Every structure is written in structure tokens, then in C-alpha cells.
Amino acid sequence: MTAKCILVVDNELYIQEVVQIALETIKNWRVVTASSGAEGLLKAEKVRPDAILLDMMMPDMDGATTFQKLQANPLTQAIPVLLLTAKIQTADQKRYQEMGVHSTIAKPFDPLQLPAQIADVLGWQL
Amino acid sequence: MTVKTGFPDRSIDVSLVRSQKFAHNWSGDSFRDSIGPNVRRPMMKILVVEDDQATSETLTTLLNQCSYAVETATDGETAADLVAAFEYDLLLLDVMLPKIDGITLCRQLRNQGHTMPILLLTGKGDSHDKAVGLDAGADDYVVKPFDLEELEARIRALLRRGHLYTTPILEWGQIQLDPSSTQVSYRQQLLALTPKEYALLELLMRNPRRVYSCGMLLEHLWTYEDMPGEEAVRTHIKGLRHKLRDADAPADMITTVYGIGYRLKPLAELEKEAPSFQEENQAAIANIWQRYQARISRQVQVLEQASAAFQTHQGQLNPEQQQRAEQEAHTLAGALGMFGIHAGTDLARQIEQLLRLPQPLGMEHIKQFQAQVETLRQTIEAYGPFTPTDVSESLPPLPSLLVIDADRDWIKDLTGQASHWDWTVRAVMDLDAAQTALTQDLPQVILLDPAVADHKNQTIAFLEKVTHFTPPIPVLFYGSPNGLHSRLEVARLGGKAYLEKPIVPKQVLHEVDRVLHQSQAITAKVMIVDDDPHLLQFLPPLLEPWGFKVSTLADSRLFWQTLVAAAPDLLILDVEMPDVSGMELCQIVRNDPYWQNLPIIFLTAHTEAEIVNQIFVLGADDFVSKPVVGPELVVRLVNRLERMQLSQQLWQVDTLTKAYKRQPAIPRLEQMMKRAQESQQPLSLGLVKVMNLRNINAEFDLETGDSVLRQVGYALCQGCGQEDVVARWSSNEFLMGLQGIRSDDAEHHIQHLCQDYLQTHQQTDDAVPIQLDLGVVQYPEAGKTLSALYKAADQRRQREAD
């Protein structure tokens, strides 16, 4: 089994780092990071990750817009996107589902649980 | 005679030869271990399983004479029933028995989880029989016809060892091994091991500090007949490691000690390195926190600015400020919990919600906002000091402190100070939060103000938990004097020190530093004198991984100055050297009053009896023949040092009472005084005197008197913390140094100990009246020197008695 590759799009560097450490050391996954929606789109196209973790609230281009653009691009459209969001109201959840995101992961997450959470929602047998 | 056991659902008819059991006359001095006529030692009960009547009777008579309670059975089946129904301290088991033979019975009993020592009586002397017996779970065997004295000695030895398998479940780190069900699990996950893999692991877990060579493992785990080559051991080790790794356990749990063999990885290392990646990750995440603290601080600052703006602009923010504040609050809410600061996440979320309210905000909301931002700042700062410098990832994790205290200002001070020491401080306000903190990250030291608990039982429950960690986490208490009432329980649970409020953080941190250094392992210093440069090159790298600090000397003429400079704990000498020989050096050392007890091991190419004999005559403790085999030398060194530590303890401790002897206690007490002075903490000295010892000795006998002293000493030692000192000051006096406690509290405490003792004493033996007098004084008020303090305590004792 080849190692999974995950793209993390979040403007906050320390969140990127925590995710990276968790995924790399616990599951040995490869992690690519992006600090803005625009950078995320570019990297998604280039590295074709197995999944994208996308922060919702970002300056300039927010998560929702980024997601739409990922969907519009045939090269990235098939990549499952997990929203990282601190908004946990059911109304928000519903909206995300309607948008077509695969799943949401609530912030703050427990770094040690994160890899299992991701594997779980994506149905990865590990 | 025939006896019914009286068990409701089973009655067994067995012929028992009951000894003159409990009615046996206990007087007289024929009993080796007798401790006085009125203090009964629990009687040891032995089951003799033997079908030959003559042998059985001889054994019974002999064992009765040695004051054991003896029961007998004549066949294996009866024996099995008896063992199921009664508790025995030891089994004497004949191999050839009707119904169930001895070996089968032995195996059966072990499989059922019985742990008492079993001594086999065998008519056959060949090794195979013995091996089979030992493999079946017997602890020792005696070949018939046996020498009675030897048999008795073996029984004594086995009883001394007690139940070998006293821990029903063996644990090492996260691995559990249950010998009764032969199941092994790692974090509750069962491992499917082959019988040999299981046996290997069991052996290592039973002797976790011991290194086993392939040869030793072969001897332990294979019978002589089917002993394979060493390759087989390696294969099994490999298989075992593989299964451990599959269960996510560290595969190097079974460590290869290069050139020597295998052992379990020391727990300290397991905990440090990787009980799992969990700690590793937590350290890495803590590191991220460290590096981004400045950034997080700026985020909080944006909220603080918003708070100020609400105040000055009547509850209104300009749109740009509003958006930024909301963004930062949102990020913090999403991020703080990730670092384990869940309270921070909650606060940030509430702040975010307030920012979403239509503006202008009312006065109440402005105040709420302000308060929440303030608490957020405190929560974050309490979590870790702001250190602008980058912490390199290669550095070991910083020593960490868990502070449990409700006093915010004080915590803030402490946190600030701790940064000078390079310590990380986590503060929590109550014991529940402390429990949670412990599940996330183990601190090296815990500072606890007992006032945070509503009830002392809560504190005790918490302490119990903490001291059960391996290694236990030292707990330092500090608090208002009247918060220390449960000192007795706390001391029993291993509280490390007592500090009294008011106290400045700096003093507390000094104390923490001391405790931290104390808990670090002591390494032994070894000095090697040998003119062979190869050996001097070869030995240090062999010994250093074992924690030995090695100094070498090739020129024996420089011996004395090197010895004094290196101050070793152990000396290794070559026999033959130019100029001054090892034998001469040995003599010099043995004749020196200061160094005479230094352990000496000789390295020698000579193994002739005459030379070896001469070495021992000169005072050597051991010898290792050249060429040196690394493993052997290491084992000998470790043995020697262990024995030395033991004898040092024996030297310092009064054998009767287990309290310190007076001489070694003096420097300890003086050190306590010095420390009390430096830290401005109270120190109390208590004098406990057994007033009527002379009468007890006269009216009863010396043994009774000794027994009283032993019990008083035990009671006092039990009631003291590890930092405290209890010394037997004279034949009937104990002097106690109690740290961090005022004399009135100390008096209360010691009184309590004495009363406790007298109560238990009364229950067991009310014939011997005991009078304990007590005088407690405080340093330095009552005196500045030890002798002045002793005098003051004695005067006080007399006054109290009058």
C-alpha cells in the first residue's frame, strides 16, 4: 500500500503544522500544505492528493469558494474534500453537505485522533 | 485421625497428622525466629504429600520441631483437594504418588494459579527428572534419602522467598502477562504467542532488569533433551518482536544488549521514548505551541484591542476591527483545543458569539467581553510561558510541572519564574482538571495546594493515582499550615515535601529542582587500573552504556592521586603490573581507613587456586579471569554494586527498628536544618521515648522489649515522608526530623502515630503496658544546633509528662 497524500489548506501556520505532525508521525502519510485558497487550488492540481483538508474561514478566498473551484476543475473534482471547521451548528453542516463536500471535521480536533477520523470518514482500510 | 474440613459443598476424608498446632507451647528459646512470648509470628503451614508412612512421619516430626504447622496427604488427588480448600505456605511433594503423580500435580496446581513454593521429593537423582520437575513449576527438589538439615534449610529458603508469583499479573509498560491464563496483551489487545514466545516473555518479565544470554535462555526454557542451538532463541525473539510490533507495541521492548544478550527495555526509557507515538506527538505539538506562542499572543492582543475599543466607542467597532477580531476569535476557538487548552476554545467561542451580536453592545455585554478576553489571556499564559526563542526540536522535552492551585496571581508568578529554569508549567485549579491533565501529559513534578480539594479524601485518592505511575511522580505540597492536616495519610502515600504558605515561587522552584535531581538515577563510578592499553580502551565503551562512569589508569605509580580525584565506587585492578602490582594496591586500599571498604574486583589471567586464594586473602571482593568476557564483567560489577548498596543501607539503618542509626542520621538532620533555613520553611524535631523499656525488659524479657522498639520504630517510619528522618537516638529514644511542618502540627501528627501504634498493640497484646512520651520543638526557634534542639525537645517532653 502506498502512503496516502493529504493536502491541508489553512491560513494558520500552526494548525498546518499540527496536522502535518499528526498525519506524518501517526500514519506515515505525506502532507502538503497551503496557506490560502489560491495556493490550495494550485497544489491540488499539481500533487493530486488522496484527500484535501480545507479550512472554512480564510481571508481572501474562503473555504466554500475554494471548494467550488476544486469541483469546477476536472483535475481535482474527484478528490474527496473534508472541511475543517469550527462552525458546528447543524445548519452549517447541512449547507456543507448540500455543497457536496465529503464530510466535515470539527475544530478543534484532537491531533492524535485526527488520522483515524480521516481514515474513518473516507473508509480507508489501514 | 480423620478430619472433616467443614467446607459446605465438599467434604474430604483425609488422613491428617495434625501437629500440636496452635496449642503448641511457644515458650522456650528453641525457636530461631521467636520474637517474644507474647508476640505471635504467623505460623507457616506446610502440606506434606507422601505415600510412604515412615517418611511422612519423619517429616512431620521434623517440621513440627521447627514450629511449622504440618498437614499430610498420601496421594495426589487428596493433596489437590486440600490445596483447593486451604491455604498452604509450602508444599513438600513426592514425585511418585498414587492417583496423581507429583509432577502432574505440580503442573496442575501452577496452571490453576497456585503460587505457594513447591519442593519436590524425588527418589531419582538424574538431571532429567529434576528438569522436568522444575519445568512443571516446582521451585526446588531434594533427592531421597535426604539430609534433614539440608531439607530444613531449603524449606526456610523457600519460605523466605515467599510466594514467588506474588503478582498474579505481570506488567511492563503497557504489556500485561497473566501467568494463570498464559495470556499476553498490549493495551488490552491480546497477542497470539507460541508457547516458547510466551515462555521467553514471561521469563524476561519476571526478571525485568536482568540480561539473558542465548545460552541462559536455552537453559531456562528448554529441557536438556531437546535443547536446540542459539539460533533457535534468536528466531523466537524475532517472532516475539514481530508480534509486539504488530500490536503497535515498541518492538524494541525486548532489547538486544550488544554482545551480552536480551533484556526488557528499562521502563524509564520506554516512557521517555515511545510508550506509543502518543507522547512523542504530544511533545511535538507542545513544541509547535512553544514556537507559535508569540503569534497566538498577538491574536489575543487583537481581541484585547477590540475590548478596549468597545469601552471607548460605546460598544462599537469599526468594520475592519470587527472582522479581524471575529477572524482571530474563530481561529483561536478552532485551535486552542488542539493544544489541549479546551477552556481556551470555549472562551474564544463565547467571544466570537459576542462579536456577532448587533452593535452597539450594551454595558453588560461589553463587561462580559472584557472579562472573557482577560480570562482567555490568563488561560493561555498559565498554559505555558511565552518564550520568544525558538526551541530546537532535537532538545529533550523540558522538565514539566503541574501546579494545582486556585491562586491565580501566585501561579502567574510561578510561571514567570519557572521560565528562568527552563521549565514548563501547567496550572490547573482543581483536582478534576489535574486528572485530565495527567491523561494528556505526564509532568515530572506535581505541586499541590491541598486547599483545592473539598475533602482530604479527594486529595488522597488523587495521590494514590499519582504514586502508582512508574516511576511515581513526586508530589510537593505547599499550602496554609492548617491545610496540611492529612499529613499522615499524605506521608504514607509518598508526598515528597511540605512547604508552607506564604512562600515565594522561587523557593518552591528550588525545592522542585532538588526533587528532580534526587529522582535521577545515581551512576556508579568505576576506576580501572591496568597496564594493558587495549583493555583500557576496550572496557569503558563496554561499561558506559550501563550507567558506569569509567576512569582508567595505566601507570599504577599514580594510583593514589587518581583514586582520590576519581573517588570511585568500585575498583578494578590488574594483578600483574610493572612498578606497583594490583595486589599491592589492594593492600594499600584495605589498610586505608577511608577507602578500606571500596569494592575491588581483580582482572587476572591466572586462575590457579593459589593466586585466586591470595587475591581473596588480600581483601578482593571478586575476580574475573582474562581474557575479559564483557557480559561476565558487567554482571559481576552490577552484583557487587548492588550488594554494596545493600550493605551501606545496613550500615546506616538500625537492624532492629529500621530507623536510621544515630551517626548517619546526624548529617541528614543537619542538612534538613540548613535547607529549612534557606527556604524559610518550618522544620520540627520530635523526640519519642519508650519510658518503661527497662521495666518491660525486666518484667517480661529482652525479646519483648525489642519487639516493642521494633514496632514503635516501624510505626514512626511509616508515618513519615521520604524527606523526613527517623533515627534511633539511644536505646529507648527516637528522634524525628519533620520537614515543612510547624511544631504544633508535628506534635499532633506524632501523637497520632503513637496512638495508632498503641491501639494496634493493645489489640494484639494487652499484657505489655507501654508508655510513650513525646516532645516536639521547632527549628530554629528552640535551638540552632542539633544538640540544642535535642535538649529542648527532651525538656519539653519532661514538661509535658509532668
Lowest-confidence segment of A69-78, B23-32, B254-263, B505-514 by average pLDDT: B23-32
* B152: enclosing H helix or E strand: helix B148-161
pLDDT band of B39, cuts 50, 70, 90: very low
d(CA B747, CA B775): 8
Q: What are the DSSP E strand ranges found in B310-454?
A: 400-404, 424-428, 445-448
Is residue B784 classed as helix, strand or coil in its secondary structure?
A: coil
- pLDDT for residue B5: 30
Q: Which residues of A touch B284 (CB under 8 A)?
A: 21, 25
**What's the whole-number mean pLDDT along residues B471-492?**
65
Spatial CA neighbour of B347 closest among B327, B367, B308, B377: B377
Site from B287, B338, B383, B439 to mutate, A interface, most A CB atoms within 10 angstroms? B338
Taking 60 as the threshold, does the pLDDT of residue B10 lie above it? Answer: no
Q: Any CB–CB contact under 8 A between B336 and chain A?
A: yes
Taking 90 as the threshold, does the pLDDT of residue A6 lie above it? Answer: yes
DSSP states of B487-537? HHHHHHTT--EEEESS--HHHHHHHHHHHHHHHSPPPPEEEEE-S-HHHHH
Dihedral of the CA atoms B535, B539, B540, B543 (nearest 10)? Answer: -170
B86-109 per-position pLDDT tens digit: 778 899 999 888 888 888 898 888
**What's the whole-number mean pLDDT along residues B336-355?**
89
Is residue B453 classed as helix, strand or coil in its secondary structure?
A: coil
d(CA A24, CA B11): 65
Shortest CB distance from A17 goes to which of B277, B288, B345?
Answer: B288
Q: Which residues of A touch B337 (CB under 8 A)?
A: 107-110
Taking 90 as the threshold, does the pLDDT of residue B737 lie above it? Answer: yes
Separation in Å, CA of B137 to nearest CA in chain A: 42
Percent of chain B with pLDDT over 70: 81
DSSP states of B245-274? HHTTS-GGGEEEETTTEEEEPPHHHHHHH-
- pLDDT for residue B443: 82
- pLDDT for residue A49: 93
Taking 60 as the threshold, does the pLDDT of residue B164 lie above it? Answer: no
Q: Which of residues 25-64 of A touch B (CB under 8 A)?
A: 25-26, 57, 59
- pLDDT for residue B325: 92
Whether B543 and B527 have beta carbons less than 8 Å apart is answered as no
Shortest CB distance from B277 goes to which of A26, A108, A109?
Answer: A26
Whether B198 and B179 have beta carbons less than 8 Å apart is answered as no
**What's the whole-number mean pLDDT along residues B642-670?**
76
pLDDT band of B306, cuts 50, 70, 90: very high
Q: Which residues of A touch B281 (CB under 8 A)?
A: 21-22, 25-26, 111-112
A72-94 per-position pLDDT tens digit: 999 999 999 999 888 766 777 77
The DSSP letter of residue B324 is: H
Lowest-confidence segment of A72-81, B314-323, B493-502 by average pLDDT: B493-502
Bond preceding residue A108 cis, omega within 30 of 0? yes
d(CA B152, CA B143): 13
Whether B135 and B223 have beta carbons less than 8 Å apart is answered as yes
Give the residue with greater pLDDT, B597 vs B3.
B597
Q: Which residues of B touch A17 (CB under 8 A)?
A: 288, 292
Site from A8, A11, A18 to mutate, B interface, most B CB atoms within 10 angstroms? A18
- pLDDT for residue A16: 92
Q: Which residues of A touch B291 (CB under 8 A)?
A: 14
Taking 90 as the threshold, does the pLDDT of residue A10 lie above it? Answer: yes
pTM of the predicted structure, to 2 decimals: 0.35
Beta bridge partners of B14: B3
Question: In one letter, which amino acid is B655?
Answer: T
d(CA B177, CA B124): 34
Question: In one letter, which amino acid is B418?
Answer: A
Whole-number average pLDDT of chain B: 78
Separation in Å, CA of B359 to nearest CA in chain A: 22
d(CA B157, CA B154): 5
Taking 60 as the threshold, does the pLDDT of residue B391 lie above it? Answer: no
- pLDDT for residue B546: 65
- pLDDT for residue B481: 59
The cell numbers describing B82, all together, are 486440600
Q: Which residues of A touch B285 (CB under 8 A)?
A: 18, 21-22, 111
Whether B265 and B245 have beta carbons less than 8 Å apart is answered as no
- pLDDT for residue B459: 79
pLDDT band of B278, cuts 50, 70, 90: low
- pLDDT for residue A55: 92
Lowest-confidence segment of A52-61, B60-69, B160-169, B185-194 by average pLDDT: B160-169
Tell which phi-psi region holds residue B499, choosing left (phi > 0), alpha (psi between -120 and 50) or beta.
Answer: beta
Site from A11, A12, A16, A114 to mutate, B interface, most B CB atoms within 10 angstroms? A12
Dihedral sign, Cα of residue B43, residue B47, residue B50, residue B53: positive
Exposed e or buried b per residue across B73-89, where buried means at least 16 C-beta atoms within 10 angstroms of its C-beta: bbbbbbbbbbbeeeebb
> Which is it for strands B445-448 and B14-15: parallel, antiparallel or unpaired?
unpaired
- pLDDT for residue A37: 92
d(CA B266, CA B204): 12
Angle in degrees, CA B591, B592, B598, rounded to 5: 95
Q: Any CB–CB contact under 8 A between B297 and chain A?
A: no
B505-543 per-position pLDDT tens digit: 877 887 787 776 654 444 578 899 998 888 888 888 777
Phi and psi torsions of B668, nearest 5° = -65, -45
- Matching residue, cell 528499562: B266
Question: In one letter, which amino acid is B13?
Answer: D
Phi and psi torsions of B139, nearest 5° = -95, -25
pLDDT band of B210, cuts 50, 70, 90: confident
Separation in Å, CA of B333 to nearest CA in chain A: 7
Neighbours of B18 (CB within 10 A): 13
pLDDT band of B172, cuts 50, 70, 90: confident
pLDDT band of B469, cuts 50, 70, 90: low
ipTM score assigned to the predicted complex: 0.89
- Matching residue, cell 506535581: B446
Q: Give the list of residues 6+ apart from residue B61 with CB closer than 8 angstroms, or none.
A: none
d(CA B182, CA B111): 9
* B584: enclosing H helix or E strand: helix B582-591
Percent of chain B with pLDDT over 90: 12
Shortest CB distance from B281 goes to which of A25, A59, A85?
Answer: A25
Residue of A nearest to B286 (CA): A18
Taking 90 as the threshold, does the pLDDT of residue B763 lie above it? Answer: no
Spatial CA neighbour of B431 closest among B409, B411, B402, B408: B402
Whether B125 and B111 have beta carbons less than 8 Å apart is answered as no
Neighbours of B784 (CB within 10 A): 11
Spatial CA neighbour of B644 closest among B568, B695, B586: B568
Separation in Å, CA of A109 to nearest CA in chain B: 6
- pLDDT for residue B735: 95
d(CA B487, CA B485): 5
Q: Is A112 within 8 Å of B284 when comparing Cβ atoms?
A: no
- pLDDT for residue A73: 93
- pLDDT for residue B684: 92
- pLDDT for residue B66: 78
Q: Which residues of A touch B282 (CB under 8 A)?
A: 112
- Most confident range, picked from B268-272, B428-432, B435-439: B428-432
Q: How many helices (H) and strands (E) does chain A have?
A: 5, 5
- pLDDT for residue B28: 34
* B311: enclosing H helix or E strand: helix B277-312
Phi and psi torsions of B298, nearest 5° = -65, -35
d(CA B286, CA B270): 20
- pLDDT for residue B36: 33
Dihedral sign, Cα of residue A28, residue A29, residue A34, residue A39: positive
d(CA A35, CA A12): 7
B784-794 per-position pLDDT tens digit: 999 999 999 99
- pLDDT for residue B789: 94
Phi and psi torsions of B494, nearest 5° = 90, 30
**What's the whole-number mean pLDDT along residues B464-490?**
66
Neighbours of B60 (CB within 10 A): 21
Q: Which residues of B touch A110 (CB under 8 A)?
A: 337-338
Taking 50 as the threshold, does the pLDDT of residue B2 lie above it? Answer: no
- pLDDT for residue B703: 81
Lowest-confidence segment of A96-105, B127-136, B200-209, B488-497 by average pLDDT: B488-497
**What's the whole-number mean pLDDT along residues A25-52?**
89
Question: Length of chain B, please?
Answer: 802
The 3-state secondary structure of A107-121 reads CCCCCCCHHHHHHHH
- pLDDT for residue B19: 32
Taking 60 as the threshold, does the pLDDT of residue B17 lie above it? Answer: no
Shortest CB distance from B327 goes to which of A13, A26, A57?
Answer: A57
Q: Which residues of B touch A60 (CB under 8 A)?
A: none
Lowest-confidence segment of A51-55, B161-165, B356-360, B442-446 by average pLDDT: B161-165
Q: Is A21 within 8 Å of B288 when comparing Cβ atoms?
A: yes
DSSP states of B191-244? E---HHHHHHHHHHHHSTT--B-HHHHHHHHS-STT---HHHHHHHHHHHHHHH
